[in-house]
Structure 1
């Protein structure tokens, strides 16, 4: 699955940096279909293909950077790959767990 679409690239560019935002907008969600890992992207750099966002399911939850290229190359059991949540609607971070 292509994780970063042209539509998402445009949306990330529209929003820009959210580094000073206390309650950033989560624009995209990527997930492991056979595990607990989820990547919530708030920013994207098209030159490096690096996202910044909130990552859960890896021992402890944290804010940080993650590579779209790395996510696309991960090989999971049963031939599965990391997926983009096609039905995800943008949400503020503070509203994520509601």
Structure 2
């Protein structure tokens, strides 16, 4: 599976450019809505990605490896793409994911519940426009 389409890559790069511009201008850094959700179809690992460096590999987002401690940080696209799982599977992109909240809101919910997926369930159960 192609983890990032050209449209998703362009959105991630635009978020990175906005972040860099805010840093250069000493403005508050934007809290982007995640653009893409990646996951391990054979396990609990999940990533919500909000931007990608111009190098096209280093992505920033919320990572949950399934150990109850989701955290914000960087992950390599090439490393995720190289993962080989049972039955010839690899890391996949959730084709139906649409971020509804800023990344910090997903991070807070994931930390409260111990997982990104539980956090998403909590957030999406809220009335539209609500947050924790």
Fold equivalence (TM over 0.5): yes
The aligned counterpart of 1:78 is 87
Question: Relative to structure 1, is the Cα distance of residues 70 and 43 closer, same or farther in structure 2, using a 3 angstrom cutoff?
Answer: same
Q: Which runs of 4+ in 1 moved over 3 A?
A: none
Alignment RMSD (CA, Å): 2.0
More helix by share: 2
**TM-score with structure 1 length normalisation?**
0.85
Work out the number of aligned pairs and report it. Answer: 97
What SS is found at the alignment partner of 1:24? coil
More strand by share: 1
1:41 pairs with 2:49: yes
Choose the corresponding residue for 1:63, options 65, 72, 76.
Answer: 72
Cα distance in structure 1, aligned partners of 2:34 and 2:64:
14
What are the equivalent positions in structure 2 for 1:1-98 lying under 5 Å apart?
1-16=1-16, 17=19, 20-21=29-30, 23-59=31-67, 60-92=69-101, 93=103, 94=105, 96=120, 97-98=122-123
Cα distance in structure 2, aligned partners of 1:4 and 1:75:
17
Q: Tell me if structure 2 keeps the 8 A contact 1:53–1:65.
A: yes
Whose Rg is larger? 2
**TM-score with structure 2 length normalisation?**
0.65
Q: Provide, for residues 34-70 of structure 1, a one-character-per-residue CA deviation record: whole Å limited to 9, x for no partner.
A: 1000011011114141100001134221011001100
Q: Which has the higher contact order (CA 8 A, sep 6+)?
A: 1
Unaligned runs of 5+ in 2: 21-27, 107-119, 124-132
